[in-house]
């Protein structure tokens, strides 16, 4: 592949304002071309681009296209920066009025150097906010898509769409469906701005001549117009790749633009490196309908503030995943100590969850055309969710890690919408780590609060996720929670329910349908605050589960916790896969006795504190 850096513009407006500035601050910059002005981190703007593309493994040649007026400046820069002077192309123009236009400049290099290869075209005088993005990812995505590629970014609030090429991109295929060059207000709601940063296949280079023969006016011979024609008229497939960064100083800009954006990006850069980002995801309780989420059913679940997982990410020289001292032990008091810890905790700590999430995140961004900045990080986690009691501790760690990665790399809700995030967390566990899991826990930990979920077969097959409806968390009654102090002794036996369901076992299929009906009734009970009805439905949920999973599968610990609740007149069910129960006891006196009974029997008891994202 060949890279072409375009710096042939005549920056009359900016040059004039620097020359006529009375403050004396910019005297040293008089006559300096825009690409050689100081950029972020006190490097020249062009220095950044040259560093980004100066890789033999990626590009066989790099050419710089400039004009006769500024040629000497670039020749001097090339000598100082080890850029081959013979690769500077001079288009022969000396004024703005005699300029060729970027498309003609591009064609000049291709024809004069007889280029017959894919090319990457970059405006070398653009100011880039992120000084660390990885250009190899751009080439990888271009090769994956086997079509033309245009880079775009999400505009800052203070930017106007009327000064940019605006693209509309299909979220599934990533093909650019429309390109609007400096659209009038109201033309499109998109705020995705395309910049002069393209990858063109060698077979498409002939389109440049087609375009030039159609547009003879220099004003039209800009790359934005060319892309607009290529996409909207010639219907050539052009794909979009998003860089999580901004670009400025495009085209004719003034001194105030230059100083404003340089200050803004420099401040951003300084702010970015210092602070660590910490994100939390909360434990959840399945209130009704579980475990039908893995069987095209319906459920209602709630995040609880009692327990959480936390991930912290900060920029560092190397990429480091920090083991948790309790969950990923590497030092032991003795061989006996190792024996006891391994017997009780097993060998699967949280570090594998971090690693799998990072791997899947990189893969997701590569496939979705989101280029990540080339910065390393240190990632650590902490968790106080009790292990192996079905409160979704593993998915909370993955979910918190994903939040951190999204913030660290500036991904937005549009890059990974909530339903897709829930699918992502599930795939980390099922595809990477072979953990058997359903969607409910991931959905509730992404949405947070109290959520009704419909995983109907048609919905799932059509859109690959269900319908998720947040409910008013204030309508949740005062649930209680009890769990096993030592879950490794719970003695649960693996169930054959999934195989029976796949085989079309009538009893299992009917049960899953009944779970969905209970969920719809529970939704009504929550909305009308009919807690007596909700308590009855919770009991029915448990009995239904018991009928298909059998007591041998539920295990003595779970059955003992259910028995205690029933003795004290409380509704009870399993909030997850086993190891804990939740209940609803409407008699305050009974609740006091219930708590005492659990504690005396050696279980841990607590009052559920609902977690609502808006109240924290």
Active site residues: 441
- Give the C-alpha separation, 465 to 293, whole Å: 11
> 17 burial class (0-12, 13-18, 19+ CB within 10 angstroms)?
middle
CB 584 within 8 A of CB 526: no
- Give the C-alpha separation, 167 to 34, whole Å: 26
Backbone dihedral region for residue 64 (phi beyond 0: left; psi -120 to 50: alpha; all else: beta)? beta
Query: Any idea what DSSP says for residue 144?
Result: H
CB 179 within 8 A of CB 234: no
- Give the C-alpha separation, 437 to 398, whole Å: 13
Spatial CB neighbours of 561, under 8 Å, sequence gap ≥ 6: 482, 483, 484, 572, 580, 581, 598, 603
- Give the C-alpha separation, 102 to 342, whole Å: 66
- Give the C-alpha separation, 613 to 538, whole Å: 25
CB 552 within 8 A of CB 490: no
Q: Where would I find the H helices in 369-431?
A: 393-408, 418-427
Chain mean position to CA 323: 24
Q: Which of 429, 546, 444, 566 is nearest to 495 (CA)?
A: 546
CB 466 within 8 A of CB 528: no
Give the sign of the dihedral formed by CA 432, CA 434, CA 438, CA 444. Answer: negative
DSSP string computed for 420-448: HHHHHHHHIIIIIS-----SHHHHHHHH-
Between β-strands 2-6 and 61-66, what pairing exists: parallel, antiparallel or unpaired?
A: parallel
Residue 351: CB atoms within 10 A of its CB come to 18
Spatial CB neighbours of 205, under 8 Å, sequence gap ≥ 6: 110, 115, 119
Between β-strands 377-383 and 320-321, what pairing exists: parallel, antiparallel or unpaired?
A: parallel
CB 301 within 8 A of CB 285: yes
Q: Which of 446, 400, 438 is nearest to 419 (CA)?
A: 446
- Give the C-alpha separation, 315 to 408, whole Å: 8
Q: Which residues face 453 on adjacent strands?
A: 299, 468
Give the sign of the dihedral formed by CA 194, CA 199, CA 201, CA 205. Answer: positive
């Amino acid at each position: 592949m060949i890279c072409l850096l375009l710096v042939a513009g005549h920056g009359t407006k900016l040059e004039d304002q620097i020359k006529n500035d009375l403050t004396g601050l910019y005297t040293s910059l008089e006559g300096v071309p825009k690409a050689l002005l100081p950029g972020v981190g006190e490097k020249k703007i062009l220095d950044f681009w040259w560093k980004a593309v100066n890789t033999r493994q990626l590009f066989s040649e790099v050419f710089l296209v400039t004009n006769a007026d500024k040629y000497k400046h670039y020749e001097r820069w090339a000598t100082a920066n080890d850029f081959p002077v013979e690769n500077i192309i001079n288009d022969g123009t000396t004024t703005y009025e005699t300029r060729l236009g970027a498309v003609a400049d591009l064609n000049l290099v291709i024809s004069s150097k007889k280029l017959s290869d894919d090319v990457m075209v970059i405006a070398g005088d653009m100011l880039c906010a992120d000084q660390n993005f990885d250009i190899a990812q751009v080439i990888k995505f271009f090769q994956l898509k086997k079509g033309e590629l245009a880079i775009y970014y999400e505009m800052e609030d203070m930017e106007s769409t009327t000064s940019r090429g605006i693209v509309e991109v299909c979220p599934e295929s990533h093909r650019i469906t429309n390109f609007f060059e400096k659209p009038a207000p109201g033309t499109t709601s998109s705020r995705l701005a395309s910049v002069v940063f393209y990858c063109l296949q060698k077979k498409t280079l002939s389109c440049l001549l087609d375009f030039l023969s159609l547009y003879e006016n220099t004003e039209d011979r800009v790359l934005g117009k060319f892309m607009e024609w290529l996409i909207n008229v010639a219907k050539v497939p052009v794909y979009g790749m998003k860089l999580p960064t901004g670009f400025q100083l495009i085209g004719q800009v003034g001194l105030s633009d230059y100083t404003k954006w340089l200050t803004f990006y420099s401040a951003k850069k300084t702010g970015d490196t210092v602070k660590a980002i910490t994100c939390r995801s909360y434990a959840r309780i399945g209130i009704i309908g579980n475990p039908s989420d893995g069987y095209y059913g319906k459920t209602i679940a709630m995040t609880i503030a009692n327990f959480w997982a936390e991930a912290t990410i900060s920029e560092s020289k190397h990429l480091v995943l920090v083991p948790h001292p309790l969950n990923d032990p590497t030092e032991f008091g003795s061989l006996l100590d190792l024996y006891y810890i391994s017997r009780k905790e097993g060998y699967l700590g949280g570090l594998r969850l971090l690693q799998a999430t990072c791997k899947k995140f990189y893969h997701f961004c590569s496939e979705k055309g989101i280029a990540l900045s080339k910065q390393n990080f240190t990632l650590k986690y902490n968790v106080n969710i009790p292990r192996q009691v079905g409160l979704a501790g593993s998915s909370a760690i993955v979910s918190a890690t994903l939040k951190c990665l999204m913030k660290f790399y500036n991904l937005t809700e549009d890059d990974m919408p909530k339903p897709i995030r829930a699918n992502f967390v599930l795939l980390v566990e099922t595809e990477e780590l072979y953990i058997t899991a359903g969607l409910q826990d991931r959905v509730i930990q992404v949405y947070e609060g109290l959520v009704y979920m419909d995983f109907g077969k048609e919905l799932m097959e059509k859109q690959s996720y269900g319908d998720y409806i947040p409910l008013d968390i204030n309508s949740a009654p005062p649930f209680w929670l009890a769990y096993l102090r030592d879950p490794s002794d719970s003695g649960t036996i693996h169930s054959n329910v999934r195989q029976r369901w796949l085989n079309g076992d009538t009893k299992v299929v009917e049960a899953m349908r009944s779970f969905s009906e209970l969920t719809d009734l529970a939704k009504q009970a929550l909305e009308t605050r009919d807690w007596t009805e909700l308590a009855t439905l919770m009991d029915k949920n448990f009995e239904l589960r018991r009928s298909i999973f059998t007591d041998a599968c539920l295990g003595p610990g779970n059955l003992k916790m259910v028995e205690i609740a029933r003795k004290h007149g409380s509704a009870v069910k399993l909030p997850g896969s086993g190891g804990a129960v939740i209940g609803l006891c409407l008699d305050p006196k009974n609740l006091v006795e219930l708590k005492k009974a659990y504690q005396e029997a050696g279980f841990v008891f607590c009052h559920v504190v609902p977690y609502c994202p808006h109240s924290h």
